[in-house]
Structure formats: structure tokens, C-alpha cells
Chain A
Amino acid sequence: MTVAWRGWRAAALAGLVACLVPLTTFLVSVWLLGWQLQHVQSGSMSPTYPVGSLLVTAQLDPAEVAIGMPIVFEDPRQAGRLVIHRVVGIAPGAELAFITRGDANATNDASAVPARLIRGRVMWHVTSLGPTLDWLQWPRSFVLFVLGPGLALTWLERRHGREAPMPA
């Protein structure tokens, strides 16, 4: 193995570690704080949250919801589908519910959002980072950062064992 190749390999590994350390710190912090990462896949909240944005969201007490606040909620007409739209009013009725609308939409959402379907609020967002983190989810993260390096490590360990001098 040439010295140049060893140099390139060391630099690549150092670069990888330099990227993974902040990424891991970020993900672990989000997990410990009970936050969530959400990837915006559409333009209904443009330009506030462009397509591809990564949102960091935290739980929200419905009592804290204010008009003008973007909220994450479960679509009243499609269970499990998360939507982020802005609160534009309080719906009349006995049950607390909010009228919402996407910043880029021409009309309010068809159904009011009951308080029980509110899932969170946006702490902050990073433009364009959503697809990258989506891509790095299981099983890619395991193959890229555990399985691949693990195999390489095993190979290096074996080679190192063979090259080690035999005891006299």
C-alpha cells in the first residue's frame, strides 16, 4: 500500500468522522430533548418553510396556540398524515378547534383542526437538509456507518494480525 493511498484514506476517514460527530450530537440532542425532526415535502408553507426544509418540532400544549402560529397537526381527514399550516382563527363550536391555512394556499383548510390532533410547534428549521436526513435513515445509516466500516475494520484487523511479527 502506497503512502499516498494511506494519506487519502486517513483524510477521508477524518472527514467522515468530522461530519458524523456533529450529526450524532444533533440527533442525540433532539432525541434527549423529546423533539422531532420533520421533513417538508411540499410548498404549501412556502416561503416560510420551503420544500426540503428540515423542521425541528417540539410538543405544544393546545392552550398555548395563538393565531398566526404555524402548528404541526394530524390531518383531520387522513389519520397519520402530518401537516404544518398556520393558525388563522378559532373554529366555533363546543370543542376547541383551529382554522388553519398554508401560507401559499388560496383558501383555508377544509376542516378545522381539533386540539387533540395538534402534534407540535416549530422550534427552528434548516433549509434543504430534510432530504439528506431522510436518506440517512435505516437501513442506509446502518449499511453506511456500521456494516461497511465494520467490515473494513475486520479486514484491517486481520491484515494487521498477519503482518505482526511472530514472537521469538
Chain B
Amino acid sequence: MARHSLRVVVVLGMLITLVGGTGIYATISDRALTGPSDVTSDSLARAANLGIAQLQLPPNNGPFTCDRYFDDLTSPLFTFIATPGRQADAYFCVVNSGSRAVDVTLTSTDVTDLDVACTGDEAAFGDTTCGSVGGIPQVGELSPNLTVETDLYQCDTGALLSPGTPDFTSSLAGLGTIPYTTLGTLLPGTQLCLRLRVYWASTGDLGQVSQSDEVTWRFAFDGTVP
């Protein structure tokens, strides 16, 4: 009886292995997030000798088009409610209008964390500054749990410089700390095309305590002569 069953298992196992080798398996990938949140932000990129512009994506693949360059952008950048699986993208061009090559860094500034509501299990997971007191929000915990991914593109082709994984990944709070994220060296008169992707990296206890929080900040691109 045992030998008969084992023979059947071997035959079925061979079938499973053979069929599996025909390429019927594939993986669909993207990004998964958990838990609700509230994010309100506007962005003002600042640079001493850098210009910044909004980037227009072509309807199909092809070269990127950079709008008019400014010293700073004043329009809001990311404004969305972070929910599981939601992410927001923004595309930029950065140009070196100076006379020397510069190392370009990306930082977050003016980060303000607010705990606007105490919801779900937020307090139960140890958030001692949960919600508002007397109508005034307490300190929130969202910026350490808000992930910022940076992808660099070739402006003239619209192709990712390094496909597969983001060029840089950091929490929003981490972007404001040394060592700063260096995007690379920009030669005079050249431009950099990039995408910033923001999503709530909410998992476990940190995800619980950062729910229903609000964070505002600005991104800054700084150029430093090496």
C-alpha cells in the first residue's frame, strides 16, 4: 500500500515539476502598504545654483519634456490621503545653471508632524501623543514612516537609469538627516530628471501609531561644488 502510494506521489510530483518548468508561473509585482493615514504636503525646492522644473511625461515612451525652470517651485507637490497600497508620484527636472559641476543632494526640510486624530488602536500601541488636546494636535509619528523613493531617468530617452529598484529609498524624516542623499554630480548646463514616490510604510506597531497623522514638508535640492 505504502509503495503504491509512493509511486503515485512520484508520478504526480514529476508532472508538477515538469509543468512548473514550462513557464506557467509568473510574478506580478508592485508595492503593498497597510493602514490608513492622512498626508498633506506642499513642496518648495530650493537650490543655490540649481533650477527646478516640472516634468511632462510623454503619452508613450520617449524623451521627457521639462517645463520652464524656476529657482523654487511654489505649487503643492503631494497632497493625498495615504491608504493601503496608495502611492503618489511627482516628476522633476533639475538643471545646473552654474559654471561648475555640483553634487546634488535631496533633503526634506520644514518637516512638521501632527497627530490630528486618535483612531483605531493607535493609543493601545503606545502612542502617548495620540490625537489633539484642546483642539491642538500633538506631535505625530508619520514622517519616520513615510517612505520616499527616488528614481533617476535619462531625460533624453525617458529610460530609468537603473531599472529594478529605486535609486534611493529613505524615510521622509531620514531625508533630513546627515548623510544627505546625494543624487549625483551634475555638470554645468546639464539636467537631471527624476521621480519622487511617496507612500506610507506602515507595518506593525509603527504603522499603528502613525495612523491618522498629518505631515507637511518641503523637498530641497541643493548643489554643492565638490
Contacts and interface: CB of A to CB of B under 8 A. Distances in A.
Contacts of A114: 60-61
B9 A17 contact: yes
A43 interface: yes
Contacts of B59: 91-93, 97, 112
Interface residues of A, number: 70
A116 to B, nearest CB: 11
Contacts of B8: 17, 20
A102 B160 contact: no
A53 to B, nearest CB: 9
Interface of A is mostly: mixed
A106 B13 contact: no
A105 to B, nearest CB: 6
B60 A42 contact: no
A126 to B, nearest CB: 14
B192 to A, nearest CB: 17
A95 B60 contact: yes
A58 to B, nearest CB: 12
Interface in B1-53: 1-3, 5-10, 12-17, 19-34
Contacts of A127: none
A40 B3 CA distance: 38
A69 interface: no
A14 to B, nearest CB: 6
A38 B32 contact: no
A136 B20 CA distance: 9
Contacts of A44: 30-32, 85, 87
A41 B30 contact: yes
A145 B164 CA distance: 34
Interface string B56-67: 011111000000
Contacts of B31: 42-44
B22 A31 contact: yes
A145 to B, nearest CB: 2
A83 B27 CA distance: 9
A27 B16 contact: yes
A2 interface: no
B25 A37 contact: yes
Contact of B28 (A21, A82, A97): A82
Given A42-B30, A106-B86, A107-B89, A27 B61 contact: no
A160 interface: yes
B28 A136 contact: no
Interface string A8-20: 0110011011001
A129 B88 CA distance: 29
A149 B6 contact: yes
Interface of A: 6, 9-10, 13-14, 16-17, 20-21, 23-24, 27-28, 30-31, 35-46, 51, 55, 72, 76-79, 81-84, 91-93, 95, 97, 102-107, 110-112, 114, 133-134, 136-138, 141-142, 144-146, 149-150, 152-153, 156-157, 160
20 contacts: A13-B6, A20-B8, A27-B20, A30-B19, A31-B19, A31-B22, A39-B26, A41-B28, A41-B32, A77-B158, A78-B163, A78-B164, A105-B87, A106-B80, A111-B60, A112-B59, A145-B9, A150-B6, A153-B6, A157-B3
Interface of B: 1-3, 5-10, 12-17, 19-34, 57-61, 80, 83-89, 91, 158-160, 163-164, 195
Given A6-B2, A13-B6, A153-B10, 16 more contacts: A17-B9, A37-B25, A39-B25, A39-B26, A41-B29, A41-B32, A42-B31, A43-B33, A77-B159, A103-B85, A107-B88, A110-B195, A138-B21, A144-B13, A145-B17, A150-B10
